[in-house]
Amino acid sequence: MVNNSSTIRVLRARDQRTPDWLRSLCVYRPSATYRSSELTTLALAVAHREDDVRTVRCLIVGPSDTPYEFGFFEFKAKFGDAYPVQPPSVRCLTTNGGRCRFNPNIYATGKVCLSILGTWRGEEGEQWSTAQGIESVLISIQSLMSSNPYENEPGFEHIKVTAKEAEAYAQKVGTHSFTCTHAQIAICDPLFGLSMESQETTSSLGEGTERDGFYDADYLLQVRHETLRITVLQRLETLLEIADDDHITTAADLSTPPADYDDDGVKEYDPSADGYTESDPDALFHPFADLYKRRFLWYYDAYLKSIDDASAKIKDGTAFVGTPFEYGTNDMRGKFAYASLKTRFLRVYEALEAEKDSWATEGKAAFIKEHGTAMNLNHQFDSLRNHYSRSNGPSVELSLVDGNPFVWTLTFFGPSETDLYGATINVRLHFPFKFPDQQPRVTVLTPLFHHRISSTTKALCYFPTKLFSVQNHIESIMAAIVEENPSYDPRALVNPAASVLRWGDEAGKKLYRRKLRRSVQDAMENCDEF
């Protein structure tokens, strides 16, 4: 596997080893001891090497309901001596080796055009100020990843189209998965954002009408395809050392030169850009590797749904359409290849399952040798089993699979007066050898129609607050499953079929509860030994 031994320090305001200038940009999470700081509410994360606190690696998970949905976009922020008077320099590392421009404001070179970074013109009040920090920068970049990134391009609202293009566009928008509500139309749809009179005038235009281009519908589909291919698949295949032997989904020919560097541009997985050689132990610095793997299992159903929705409308082999703002090699080129993407997603999923099984094997051997992690997990198991056996709260049972402290089974019962009443819920926790630096993978063995449980991987989406505490994991797991009135959380849309009902209208919510109760009944009737 890829070497990921680089030390990452928690970015905490109270860390006395952290320089004053860095404390101002850190996100403080007092309960976290994980070695990277996750701004989980915003689907952001930051980390740095122990020997270089001025260079911060940043992760943005693509927002839901956008073509960037649940993609993994890495950035590198450098904080100079003039910080916080001057902003950090920020570069995108997710560029397919300098060959993919993911946004009008995010170049293939890695350059990020943003007014607060001083790399893009802005109105008064939009420039950098000392009150801002890494969080505000990442939120600003995340805002570029909108439902229609094409609108980031200046002059977007003045695009004119022919009647033929308008008809083709309407058909395409009506079928692809990124649709807009009526309230959003004026913002993200240049055609329907016009008045009715203007629409009629536009529709009557002749085919020879001069225009800047009308490419946003194509662009959305292309961004989604490359988000799946580059930010998710390529990244996981690299971490798991899976070769894409057929190269069917290569967006650009491997001989295509990358975009020219500008300033201190860097490219994805290019250790020389960071001043390292291939033999350097920090050459491959992947601070978010474990996070990627767990999120992949969360969002697997959403990824496949995107592929199924698009592949029904777009023929594999269809070439990407260029846009007016792309030039030279600063573009997104390639062809749609959804069949291959689906095969590769399955291959990554199988590799992650195999990795999880290897933890059990390695863990059992470590327990026999009385390794520290094994003994710690075994001690926590004994303590928690005694705690829950004496507790007056809900009945909770814990057991080890084959006496292995790295594989736990959690069993609890659905509370009365809830849709889960009567259910015996079994949950499996696989702990990695590097716990708590790496987190457990949690799957729900009881088949439930639940918005927090992936229908394919059975991975549970939950958010512990004390990553080192198994008890906190257990209580967070139970809370995520039994909570009756959860708040909407775009990070937790792991089961598309259940989520669209759970967060839909009243009829949808009633149908969701009915399906959940039915799954509970089916589980009771087909109770298996887990």
Evaluated on CA atoms 355, 243, 109, 51, the torsion sign reads positive
- CA-nearest of 102, 107, 93 to 269 is 93
Same domain, 301 and 408: no
Whether pLDDT at 459 is above 70: yes
Range of the domain at 177: 160-211
Residue 394 is assigned to a structural domain of this protein: yes
**Tell me, what's the pLDDT at 279?**
52
**Tell me, what's the pLDDT at 227?**
96
Cα 273 from Cα 251, distance rounded (Å): 22
Whether pLDDT at 84 is above 70: yes
Same domain, 186 and 280: no
Q: Range with the lowest mean pLDDT among 240-244, 275-279, 386-390? A: 275-279
Amino acid code (one letter) for 188: C
Evaluated on CA atoms 151, 492, 487, 513, the torsion sign reads positive
Residue 3 is assigned to a structural domain of this protein: no
Task: Work out the angle at residue 436's Cα, subtended by the Cα atoms of residues 434 and 438, and round it to the nearest 5 degrees.
Answer: 60
Same domain, 131 and 239: yes
Cα 106 from Cα 527, distance rounded (Å): 52
Burial label, 244 (beta-carbon count in 10 A; 0-12, 13-18, 19+) = middle
* Active-site annotation holds for 527: no
pLDDT digits 0-9 by tens, 370-423: 989 999 999 999 999 999 999 887 899 999 999 999 999 999 999 998 999 999
Residue 12 is assigned to a structural domain of this protein: no
Residue 289 is assigned to a structural domain of this protein: yes
- 174, 192, 211 - which closes a domain: 211
Query: Rg for the chain (alpha carbons), in Å?
Result: 25
Task: Work out the angle at residue 293's Cα, subtended by the Cα atoms of residues 343 and 528, and round it to the nearest 5 degrees.
Answer: 80
Percent of the chain with pLDDT over 70: 70
Question: At 217, which helix (H) or strand (E)?
Answer: helix 216-226
Cα 408 from Cα 318, distance rounded (Å): 47
Please give the mean pLDDT across all residues of the chain: 78
Cα 365 from Cα 139, distance rounded (Å): 44
Paired with 89 in beta bridges are 78
Contact 128, 118 (CB under 8 A): yes
Contact 440, 473 (CB under 8 A): yes
Whether pLDDT at 2 is above 90: no
Whether pLDDT at 175 is above 70: no
Evaluated on CA atoms 212, 153, 326, 101, the torsion sign reads negative
Number of CB atoms found within 10 A of residue 124's CB: 5
**If pLDDT is split at 50, 70 and 90, which confidence band does 325 have?**
confident
- 302, 319, 350 - which closes a domain: 350
Average pLDDT, stretch 207-213? 35
Residue 419 is assigned to a structural domain of this protein: yes
Cα 208 from Cα 469, distance rounded (Å): 67
**Tell me, what's the pLDDT at 229?**
96
pLDDT digits 0-9 by tens, 475-485: 999 999 999 89
Number of CB atoms found within 10 A of residue 183's CB: 7
Average pLDDT, stretch 218-225? 89
Per the residue annotation, which of 113, 188, 461, 527 is the catalytic one?
113
**Tell me, what's the pLDDT at 18?**
46
Same domain, 170 and 45: no
Question: By three-state DSSP, how is residue 478 classified?
Answer: helix
Cα 303 from Cα 240, distance rounded (Å): 18
Contact 345, 307 (CB under 8 A): yes
- Which bin fits 143, alpha (ψ -120 to 50), beta or left (φ > 0)? alpha
Structure tokens at 34: 């994980």
Same domain, 316 and 421: no
Same domain, 24 and 139: yes
Question: By three-state DSSP, how is residue 247 classified?
Answer: coil
Any idea what the CATH number is for the domain that residue 94 is in?
A: 3.10.110.10
Residue 1 is assigned to a structural domain of this protein: no
Same domain, 205 and 309: no
Same domain, 125 and 45: yes
Number of domains comprising the chain:
3
- CA-nearest of 152, 173, 149 to 161 is 173
Same domain, 233 and 206: no
State CA 292 to chain mean position distance: 7
Residue 252 is assigned to a structural domain of this protein: yes
Same domain, 249 and 119: yes
Same domain, 443 and 485: yes
Whether pLDDT at 472 is above 90: yes
pLDDT digits 0-9 by tens, 13-72: 333 344 454 544 443 232 232 334 444 456 899 999 888 899 999 999 999 999 999 999
Same domain, 259 and 285: yes
Structure tokens at 102: 């993911």
- 193, 211, 229 - which closes a domain: 211
Residue 201 is assigned to a structural domain of this protein: yes
